[in-house]
Amino acid sequence: MSKKPIILGIETSCDETAASIITENDQGIPVILSNIVSSQIDVHKEFGGVVPELAARAHLNKIDWIVQKAIDESGFKADKIDAIASTAGPGLIVCLSVGLSFGKSFASAMNIPFISVNHLEGHALSPKLNSKLDYPYLLLLISGGHSQYLSVKGIGNYKRLGTTIDDALGEAFDKTAKLLGVEFPGGPQIEVLAEKGDQNKYLLPKPIFNKGGCNLSFAGLKTAVLKISKNIKTEKDKFDIAASFQRTILEIMYKKTKNAFAEYEKNNLKNKTFVVAGGVAANKKIRSMLIKLCDENNFKSVFPPINLCGDNAAMIAMVGLEKFKMRQFDNLDYPAKPRWPLDESAAFLKGAGVKL
């Protein structure tokens, strides 16, 4: 039996400092040996959002013991690690630089390969951890900074089928939460508040619902919530807004995902597998709606476990593992890339005047 690769992943693109060790079993299934995530919620809470300079300092303060903890919990000594994979983008440059520099220095000191990882590719491959998933597949990436449908044909091989032309879905949840007075980071709380509300109380807009294929838009929705939220008098009003907002999102995502299925099949991709990843994939209502839609359209639905939906380093190590097996290593002068789309050939589709 040949030795299985042991990969260290490091993630510092935004406000989570994370390190993880993974390997694979005899069946070639990736296995997580340790997965340490340290969130900076307390650092940024009073500012209502992530402050880049404070985030970078917090990464610097914690990165060495987070990596040490990941190594200790893996049960392996540092000299057994075969390669180091660090997030190189997209993200906040001051934050990316911390994990990237740490990973490069570690790789150099241990004389092992260094691998740069696209954070979004980490989300895209996160369902491969602990399970078997073959290419190609249709991916819906719904996170704090991105909302895209992509066909995934292999590592580094993405075709964007649709994208948001303004806010990301996670951003829409976060902004709605802020308008309802929920403390940062409020997105996940909308799901909780919505449980207690009347989802038919407010009729909210569904931007580009009947045009634009599987492109998405959420900015108009946020503006509508802003107007209604000025008249909040009781807690029940908040619950009703949260429920109505979430119902509207479900309707938008149902329709747009159907359009994405058609786009994917038009591209002659026969493997009908639909993968949903990113922080918003943790939302149970969105999950169950998408599972139902997949059943109706003969797609197999795949979600990462809830704890791997948000930012983590196991997904970064996952990309590292695939690149390691393909001998795709990077030089130690690899730059941090604040903007790094998965499909670099896709047109920039944001802002006023976008033609769909």
Ligand X SMILES: Nc1ncnc2c1ncn2[C@@H]1O[C@H](COP(=O)(O)OP(=O)(O)OP(=O)(O)O)[C@@H](O)[C@H]1O
Q: Which residues bind ligand X (CB under 6 A)?
A: 14, 119, 123, 143-146, 170-171, 173-174, 185, 187-188, 191, 278-280, 282-283, 310-311
| Residue-level length of the chain | 356
* Sequence-separated (6 or more) residues with CB below 8 Å from residue 29: 130, 131, 132
Q: Which is nearer to ligand X, 47 or 132 (CB)?
A: 47
- Residue whose CB is less far from ligand X, 244 or 283: 283
> From the CB of 173, what's the least distance to ligand X, in Å?
4
- Rounded to a whole number of angstroms, the CA Rg of the chain reads 20
Q: How far is the CB of 191 from Mg ion (least distance, A)?
A: 18
Q: Select from ligand X, Mg ion, none the partner in contact with residue 10, using the beta carbon and a kind-dependent cut-off of 5 to 8 Å.
A: none
Return d(Cα 291, Cα 285) in angstroms, integer: 10
116 binds Mg ion (CB under 5 A): no
Pairing state between β 7-11 and 16-24: antiparallel
Q: What does 185 interact with, of ligand X, Mg ion, none (CB < 5 to 8 A by kind)?
A: ligand X
Judge if the upstream peptide bond of residue 5 is cis by omega within 30 degrees of 0: no
Nearer Cβ to Mg ion, position 172 or 224? 172
Of 53, 43, 120, the residue nearest 277 (C-alpha): 120
CB of 217 to ligand X, least distance (A): 17
For residue 313, give the nearest of 11, 12, 5, 39 by alpha carbon.
11
Tell me how far, at minimum, the Cβ of 100 lies from Mg ion, in Å. Answer: 16
Confirm or reject binding of residue 311 to Mg ion (CB under 5 A): yes
State the first-to-last Cα distance of the chain, in angstroms, to the nearest integer.
53
Using CB distances below 5 to 8 A depending on partner kind, what does residue 320 bind out of Mg ion, ligand X, none?
none
Least distance CB 249 / ligand X (angstroms): 9
- If the CB atoms of residues 112 and 275 are measured against ligand X, the closer one turns out to be 275
Give strand pairing partners of 276. Answer: 140
Please tell me whether residue 143 binds Mg ion under the rule CB under 5 A.
Answer: yes
CA dist 15 → 154, 203, 269 (Å)? 28, 34, 36
Rounded least distance, CB 290 to ligand X, Å: 13
Q: Which of 266, 21, 43, 307 is nearest to 159 (CA)?
A: 266
Site string for Mg ion, 271-310 (x = CB under 5 A): ----------------------------------------
Q: Which residues contact Mg ion by CB under 5 A? A: 143, 311
